[in-house]
Amino acid sequence: MATDLDIFSGPAQITLYDATNGYLHLGWCEARIKEKPKKVKSIENQTLLIEKSFDFNANVIQFNENILNNLAARNTTKQTVYLVGLDSVLTLSDIFLFYFTERSFSSKPHRLTIAGSGSADLVAQQVNLLHPDGKFENDSNSDGLADGWVKSASVNSVEIRTSFLSGGGNAQYIYYTTGSDQNIQYRAKAPFIGRLKVSASVYVKFDPDVITGNGNLCLGCYTRREDGSFITFDYEIFSFNSGEQKRISFTKTLNVTELAIELTFIIHNKGGQYAFDALLDNAQLEIGKLSNFKEY
């Protein structure tokens, strides 16, 4: 008999999205996603796995009539579900949802459950929100910047180079000058409201070949609205000796009073104050505390 496997079980902030209705943030819930393998016996009496599906349900902790009305408008439209948990982000893509309420004697709903199911390949769980692009391995359009990353127009130079770490592979080279804001950044979907603890980290080799001497760079995690504008701008300044290589990281509890759609991992020169060139590898952006870098 096939055994169900819990993909996720626990508290999370839940947000729904479809192109017609936009984002609907439902707040905190107790969510569970179970993988359900389907197996059959072959003629040779071998057990064969023919497909995997999942069942999803979430008990929403607080809700009102406006939320119920918005859910009713989404009944016939496939949804993308974002679950921002305490240490990961799960995305359920392109699924139909249904919901039901339980009522007390006063007839006022006191419990809201949202549920759905689909093929297991529609579920994605990310611990490192930059994976796999935090390794800077691929540059599909040969523009010098690793896939998934964007840069400000004023950045002097970017290249993909051989990594300085013992594991080999590639690294991202950046060269910033003073006088203008210069940055590279990576945007990751993680819708939330309120407080969220995040951690960011990257391995850096400072001043490999252009600029000599000590210097600084900034590592940050910003939040964005649906229209792409920034809500918060949290970063730290890190000092380097010439030629130094080390892992830099920071942990911050973000606090937003409106719906933030994305987290943005950013490395910048503090509005043009710092000039440096550096190699970057093994970047991480995680919910909660930082883990050791690994291939998620």
Structure confidence at residue 204 (pLDDT): 97
- Nearest-angstrom CA–CA distance, 73 and 56: 20
- Nearest-angstrom CA–CA distance, 259 and 227: 11
In the chain, the domains with their CATH numbers are: 5-126 (2.30.110), 133-287 (2.60.120.260)
Q: Residue 72 belongs to what H/E stretch? A: helix 65-72
Are the C-beta atoms of 31 and 7 separated by less than 8 Å? no
Are the C-beta atoms of 121 and 97 separated by less than 8 Å? no
Are the C-beta atoms of 172 and 217 separated by less than 8 Å? no
- Nearest-angstrom CA–CA distance, 296 and 280: 19
42's tokens: 């072959």
- Nearest-angstrom CA–CA distance, 295 and 288: 18
73's tokens: 């408008």
- Nearest-angstrom CA–CA distance, 80 and 23: 9
**Counting every residue, how long is the chain?**
296
Structure confidence at residue 45 (pLDDT): 58
183's tokens: 């940055």
208's tokens: 């490999």
C-alpha dihedral, 88 to 92 to 98 to 102, nearest 10°: -10
140's tokens: 């599909």
What residues in the chain have per-residue pLDDT under 70? Answer: 1-4, 38-51, 103-109, 293-296
Structure confidence at residue 1 (pLDDT): 45
Structure confidence at residue 203 (pLDDT): 96
Q: Which residue has the tokens 């939040």?
A: 223
Residue 290 sits at the vertex; the CA angle it makes with 285 and 295, to the nearest 5 degrees, is: 65
Structure confidence at residue 37 (pLDDT): 73
Residues in a beta bridge with 174 = 158, 278
Q: Rounded to two decimals, what is the model's pTM?
A: 0.89
Question: Residues near 192 by Cβ (< 8 Å), separated by ≥ 6?
Answer: 13, 15, 84, 256, 259, 260
Question: Residues near 220 by Cβ (< 8 Å), separated by ≥ 6?
Answer: 200, 233, 234, 235, 236, 264, 265, 266, 267, 268
Question: Residues near 32 by Cβ (< 8 Å), separated by ≥ 6?
Answer: 6, 8, 9, 56, 57, 58
Q: Closest by alpha carbon to 138, among 168, 160, 157?
A: 160
Instruction: Assign 272 to helix, strand or coil.
Output: coil
Q: What are phi and psi of 139, to 5 degrees?
A: -135, 80
- Nearest-angstrom CA–CA distance, 232 and 72: 33
Structure confidence at residue 290 (pLDDT): 86
Structure confidence at residue 40 (pLDDT): 53
- Nearest-angstrom CA–CA distance, 221 and 89: 16
